[in-house]
Structures are given as C-alpha cells and as structure tokens.
Amino acid sequence: MSQKIILVTGSSSGFGRLTAEALGRAGHTVYASMRDVAGRNAENAAALAAIAGSDLRPIELDVQSEQSVNAAVDQIIAESGRIDVVVHNAGHMMFGPAEAFTPEQFAQQYDVNVLGTQRVNRAVLPHMRTRREGLLVWISSSSSAGGTPPYLSPYFAAKAAMDSLAVQYSRELARWGIETSIIVPGAFTRGTNHFAHSGRPADEARLAEYEAGPYAGFGDQVQKAFAAIVPDDADPEPVADKIVEVVDTAFGQRPFRVHFDPTQDGADVGFAVLDRLRAEMLHRVGLSDLLKPAKS
C-alpha cells in the first residue's frame, strides 16, 4: 500500500468522521475538512488532530463556498504537492412532508449534496488531470435505488442527483486515468447524526395542516418503523472500512459500486440493473472504454 494524500469533506461527524479516522489508521495523510474549524468545530478538529499514530489534518472547507473550497485545495497542494483521493461525503438531511418545504430549502439540499461536489471537483480535478491519476469516492445513498420511506424527499432527491452526477463523471474522467467508486450505505439510526441534525420544513402552517390531518404523528411513525428494521448490531463503521479497502485496492481493480446495508432495502438489486443498462448503452454506441480508467 502506498501512502495517499486524501481529502474527506464533511469530517466533523458521521460517515466523514469515521472515514477520516479509518483512513488515518491505514497510514494515509488525511485532510479532514469541516466548516468553522476555529469555532463550533474546534473541539472536533482538535480531537481528530490528536489521534496518535495518524496523520489527520483538519482543514477549513465549506462546500457551499467556492472561495472556501479553492482556498482549502490550494493549501493542500502547497503542503503536500498533490491530492490522490477525494471522498465526497458532505451532506445534510431534511425530514418532513415535501409540501411543507420551501423551494429554497430544496435548493439548499441540492447546493450541499450536488453543487458542493461540483465545487470540490472543479478545484481538485485540474491537479488530478495533470498527473493523469486520482480517485473520486462518492458516498451515495441506498434511497437512490432501494426502498425509501416518506418525509425525506428533499434529501433523497439531492442524493439521487449526486449519484447520477457521479456516474457521468466516471465516464468523463476514465480517459484521464481517474477512477470512480460509489459507496452506497443503507440507513443507520445510530452512529450517525443524520436524523438528530436533520432540518425541518420552513412552512410551519402547512406542516401543522399535515399534523392536524390524516398524517398526524406520521413523522414519529416513520422514524420508529424505520428504526425497527435496522438490526440492533448495525454499525456504520464498516462503511468507512469499505472506503479504506477501495482506496488501498490497486488501480484498475477498484469496484465501481460498493454496498453496505444491514437493512437490505433492495438498493443492491436496483443499482445492479441501472448500472448494467448504462454499461450496455455504452457498449452499443462504441464507448465501452469509458467503463474502465485508462492507464497513464
């Protein structure tokens, strides 16, 4: 295994925090990005930096700010000379009836989960393309092709768009020798902060109408029902371990999509069909070389 310079977005908690720590333990130099490193995330940053035996470097990066993204990438290049791997993890969840979310809230979800990855890619990819090597790891969601409970439509819509973007990027970067791996975790009601930190609808009046009508108490019902199908021993840490395995796999042998879903909501079946159809179309039009990264 060769030591790699890795940028992980959204590293203050959840999958991002677990991934940064796992990659650090595996011997890589990890830039663990988060917002407000000197403020509300100062404690998280200090805890990461203090992990013995790991080269974890907290760095200020807000995926919603092009200036912030560019500054972080410039700092990494200045310090380490390259970026070998980017782990697209930063994201945010909203929970409630779709109608009660404003268009601006849907736009915010898209900005974090989709445009955030685009800002990071535009800053990092010129460096990877110059070297003709690199790896993009996208943390997707089983909701994009599996079973999806109601009341999470802004988040699910954004994650579906991000997954589609990852697929398209994989085709457009293959000839540059840049690889793509998409990690598909299932839902975890413990060990992450998705539900605890999820946003709520801004239209309080419409939310009240749902709560006073046939969907009274439905939010609690969904969360309890969803939590009931998650095995008691479901642990999100293996998601990070899967990412380490992908990073440490040799060029050209990395899997395009990796699933880890204790609830088995069917996403592995759904994505298998979707990815096969996409691959067959590339074969039909004579572009099958885009399915594998080119060697530099």
pLDDT of residue 263: 84
Q: What is the pTM of this model?
A: 0.94
Please tell me the distance from the alpha carbon of residue 188 to that of residue 210, in angstroms, as a whole number: 26
pLDDT of residue 1: 61
pLDDT of residue 123: 98
Please tell me the distance from the alpha carbon of residue 132 to that of residue 119, in angstroms, as a whole number: 20
pLDDT of residue 213: 97
pLDDT of residue 142: 87
155 classed as catalytic: yes
110 classed as catalytic: no
pLDDT of residue 193: 52
Which position among 31, 155, 169, 210 bears the catalytic label?
A: 155
> 291, exposed or middle or buried, with CB in 10 Å at 0-12, 13-18, 19+?
middle
Please tell me the distance from the alpha carbon of residue 244 to that of residue 268, in angstroms, as a whole number: 20
pLDDT of residue 189: 63
Which position among 31, 54, 143, 159 bears the catalytic label?
A: 159
Please tell me the distance from the alpha carbon of residue 9 to that of residue 169, in angstroms, as a whole number: 18
pLDDT of residue 223: 86
224 classed as catalytic: no
Tokens standing for 130?
């110059």
Of the chain, the end-to-end C-alpha distance in Å amounts to: 19
pLDDT of residue 187: 77
pLDDT of residue 122: 98
Neighbouring C-beta atoms of residue 33, cutoff 10 Å: 31
Which position among 33, 140, 142, 144 bears the catalytic label?
A: 140
pLDDT of residue 191: 54
- Helices 14-25 and 237-248 cross at an angle (nearest 10°) of 50
Q: In what order do the strands lie in the sheet with 257-260?
A: 55-60, 29-34, 5-8, 85-88, 134-139, 178-185, 257-260
What's 60's DSSP letter?
E
User: DSSP 3-state assignment of 15?
Assistant: helix
pLDDT of residue 51: 93
10-residue block means of pLDDT along the chain (296 residues)?
92 94 97 95 94 94 98 98 97 93 96 97 98 97 83 92 97 98 84 66 97 96 85 85 97 96 88 96 97 91
- Secondary structure of 207-221 as H, E, C letters: HHHHHHCCCCCHHHH
CATH of domain 5-291: 3.40.50.720
pLDDT of residue 99: 98
295 classed as catalytic: no
Which position among 4, 11, 12, 170 bears the catalytic label?
A: 12
pLDDT of residue 233: 75
